[in-house]
Amino acid sequence: MRGEWNPFQRGHGWRETASASACGAATASAFEDLAARGRRELAAGRPGEAASFLGTALGLWRGEALSSELGTEDYLYLSKARLARERRRSGDLEGAFRDLYAAHRQARERGQLRLEANILVGLANVHRRAGDLAQSDATLDRLEALGARRPALKGLARDLIVSTRIENRLAAGDAVRARAMLPEAAGALFGQGAGAGLAWVAELLGGIRTVEGAPEEGSRSLGMSQVMRGAFDHGEPEWRELVERIVAALGRHGFETEYARGAAYSRDDALRWLEAETLRST
C-alpha cells in the first residue's frame, strides 16, 4: 500500500494552514491550536464541540490582515466559499449556508461570474448534504441558466453542473443515471492526468459500484483513489458514509482487504481500470 491509510480515521481533513505573512504569527498559532483541538474533539466522538472549535478557527481568516494580502476575488473565495466547504465537511451546514449566501451576494454585486458559479455549486453541495436534493438540483438549474446567458461561463458551468448532478444522483441511490453521466464529467480528466480529479472519479465509481451491488469493487475503487491522490479523502463525509455502508456489507476485514488490493495498483494500472470502468457507462 502507498502511504499511511486508516479507513476509519475520523479527522475531517482540515488542510488550511494560516501563514504568518497573511495572518500574523499570533493568529497563525491560534488558528493551528484551534484546528488541532477540533480534531481531538472529533476523534473523541464530540462533533458538536469539534465544529465549535473549527468555526472559531475559521473566523480568524476574516480579518483585515487577510483581505489586505489578497485580491478581492481571492479574499471572497477563501473567506467565504472555500471555508464554507470546510464547514460542510465538518457538519456545520448552517454556517456553510451563511457564508455561501453572503459570498453569493457579493459576487453578483461585483459581477464575478466564475466565483458565482463556484458558489452556486457549493450551495448545491450543502443542500445535498442537508438532504434536500430537489433544492440542490434547482440550484444547479440556476447555474445552467447563468451559463446559457453568459457564453464565457458556459464551459465551466457545464463541467460543474455535470459533476455535481452525478453526486446528487448517487445520493439518491440512482446508480444508472450517475453512471450514464460519468463519461461526460470524467473524460477530460483522463487526458489531463490530474491526481485530485482522478481520485474523485475513483470515489464516484466506488459509490456507483456499491449501489449497483458490488461493494468489493467499490472498495477497490476507493483504494485507487489513494493511488491517485496519495491518501483517501477522510474529510468528505459522503465518502466516510460510503465506507460505513461497505463495511456493513463486507465486514471491516473484507473492506480493508479489497481496499488494499485497489491501493496496491500502480498508477498506470489504476488509470486503465478507472478509464475502462468509466467508459463502460457508454
Among 3-17, 112-126, 243-257, where is mean pLDDT lowest? 3-17
At residue 260, does pLDDT exceed 90? yes
At residue 28, does pLDDT exceed 70? no
40-54 burial: b if 16+ Cβ within 10 Å, else e: ebbeeeebeebbbbb
The DSSP 8-state label assigned to residue 265 in this structure reads S
Strand extents, DSSP E, the chain: none
Query: From CA 74, how far away is CA 123, in angstroms rounded?
Result: 18
Query: From CA 281, how far away is CA 182, in angstroms rounded?
Result: 7
pLDDT for position 211: 95
pLDDT for position 192: 62
CA 82, chain centre distance (Å): 11
User: What 3-state DSSP class applies to 40?
Assistant: helix
**pLDDT confidence tier of residue 35, bands split at 50, 70 and 90:** low
pLDDT for position 231: 86
Query: From CA 263, how far away is CA 219, in angstroms rounded?
Result: 10
Q: Write down the residue that cell numbers 498506470 correspond to.
A: 268
In 3D, which of 160, 174, 176, 241 has the Cα closest to residue 203? 241
- Over pLDDT 90: what percentage of the chain? 41
Per domain, the residue ranges of the chain are 22-69, 80-168, 181-282
Contact 272, 190 (CB under 8 A): no
